[in-house]
Amino acid sequence: MEDSPHAHADLDTRALKLDRIGPVEWEIPMGTVAQMKTPARIIASKALLEKIRTDRTLRQLANVACLPGIVKFPISMPDSHEGYGFPIGGVVALDCETGGISPGGIGYDINCGVRLIRTNLSAAEVRPKIKQLLDKIHDSVPSGVGRATKRKLSPSELDAVLVDGAKAAVRIGQGWKEDLEHCEEGGSLPGARPEKVSAEARDRGKSQVGTLGAGNHFLEVQEIGETFGPEAEAFGLEKGKAVVMIHCGSRGFGHQVCSDYLRVMEDKFKEEISGLPDRELAYAPAGTREADDYFSAMACAVNFAFTNRQAIMHSVRGAFSRVFGRTPEDLGMSLLYDVAHNIAKIEEHHARKCFVHRKGATRAFGPGRKEVPQAYRRVGQPVLLPGSMGTASYVLVGSETAMERTFGSTAHGAGRMMSRGEALRRHRGEEIVKELGARGILVRCDSWRSIAEEAPDCYKDIDEVARVSHEAGIGRLVARMRPIGVVKG
């Protein structure tokens, strides 16, 4: 592929020798990078691995295996691609005593994630009203560059968001109590301390709750095209029904938290970082004040993102209600689940307490775990895999295999594979909209350029990513959705 600007002379990722340890599992052996403390693993089919080899993903994964306190091995998912320091689509567990926590292992958009809302409407009922629906949603959910809400949160309102997350939104009437039960962490990660967040992050965040942002974030009305296992029934998903997917994160707030703490760690732990192969691997050793402070600030950003998605869902329910002339309750608009893609959590795996960093990876806990909501505990945690604009999305279910092999994690979506510049050379926004229109997908976006940059062929094949997750047994297929209408930032 022509888009690999970082073909590094020091490690030819295309020719790198990997050990095949399963039909869709590979290992980078120790010694590939001198300081590696463990091997590193990749879950991918041959086809996906070929794509992964075209950028620096494998080099970055090997670098991560150099971090102190690494538990078992770092793992990259079928949708992985090159990130900053850590690859995107990676799971890295660092021991809570001998390891540490790294902002780069979580990503700038802390708690970028997805939620899926059910409806009792059939796609056939939604289609005739899709334009009206997207217009209403677009009016009530600000999106795109420089678009904020009209009302700024007061300092105490913002504090409530940072400490309580989605609970804060539900408390002021933006949602139902049962929504919270269907969010990872109940929509509120404990340990958040607003005093650990900079004034700049607060400034950026105070008018961004309830906004979609831009880039790969989207809001989609989808049709359930296919269901696979018995879990579909447990999840209340029925072929032909309409659902709504919201994909966004902690906006400028989370980005500022990440960049503030990268700076703190870089200044404070010069010696530790100088021994690492990449500046973006900066971390705070476990037990230091900086590690605690970052965790507290990160938790604020996690809660900000949960609140953001909750507020957007509230607007979506309102839009449906106005268009269909029925209450959201009457339309059966309950939340299936809300998952984080970029987060660190303290979890116990293989009898060790660790900071599990998921960057572009989804928690996929199996049946019986107390973290899985009561309604799904018998079958396992719902996993939401968003596609890109105009492609399919999936619901998977977490598994025992994921607990054993991937720290209870699986993929997070399609994963970009074409540069924005190349996308702009190949596509025109107007044509993409026409093409998608011909396939029955309506797009609502203020920027033609943004549509061209996010064209469906810029991303890896989501069907293949979901299939490999299923084959590896780390997230099994439950439902495949196809879009009817898209709102892009």
Would you count residue 267 as binding other proteins (CB under 8 A)?
Answer: yes
**How far apart are CB 104 and other proteins at their closest, in Å?**
9
Among 145, 151, 330, 437, binds other proteins (CB under 8 A): 145
412 is catalytic: yes
Distance of CA 224 to the CA centre of its chain: 21
Question: Judged by CB under 8 A, which stretch of 116-124, 175-183, 211-219, 365-373 contacts other proteins?
Answer: 211-219
**Tokens 């025109």 appear where?**
428
Q: Which is nearer to other proteins, 5 or 325 (CB)?
A: 5
Closest CA to 471 of 19, 18, 20, 25: 25
Question: Is residue 298 near other proteins by the rule CB under 8 A?
Answer: no
In contact, 360 and 131? CB cutoff 8 Å: no
| Residue of the chain from 72, 255, 309, 482 that contacts other proteins (CB under 8 A) | 255
Q: Which of 268, 334, 314, 308 is nearest to 100 (CA)?
A: 268
**Between residue 395 and residue 424, which ones bind other proteins under the rule CB under 8 A?**
416-422
Q: Which of 138, 412, 427, 470 is catalytic?
A: 412
Does residue number 48 form part of the binding site for other proteins (CB under 8 A)?
Answer: no
- Report in angstroms the alpha-carbon separations of 137 from 218, 402, 486: 12, 36, 10
Options 64-72, 80-88, 325-333, 431-439: segment touching other proteins (CB under 8 A): 80-88
Give me the least distance between CB of 462 and other proteins, in Å please.
Answer: 16
Phi-psi category of residue 185: left, alpha or beta, with phi > 0 → left and psi -120 to 50 → alpha: left
Helix intervals (H) in 325-428: 400-405, 420-426
Does position 445 interact with other proteins (CB under 8 A)? The reply is no
| Tokens, residue 149 | 């809400």
What is each CA distance from 340 to 102, 185, 251, 304, 305, in whole angstroms? Answer: 17, 10, 14, 12, 9
Kindly state whether residue 309 participates in binding other proteins, applying the rule CB under 8 A: no
Q: How far is CA 372 from CA 115, 363, 380, in A?
A: 15, 10, 7
Instruction: Say whether residue 428 binds other proteins (CB under 8 A).
Output: no
Q: According to the binding rule CB under 8 A, does residue 175 interact with other proteins?
A: no
Nearest distance from residue 461's CB to other proteins, in Å?
16
Alpha-carbon span 403 to 411, nearest angstrom: 14
Catalytic residues: 412
- Residues near other proteins (CB under 8 A) are 2-6, 55, 81-85, 88, 108-109, 144-146, 148, 200, 203-204, 213-215, 251-252, 255-256, 258-259, 262-263, 266-267, 279-280, 416-422, 446-447, 449-450, 453, 489
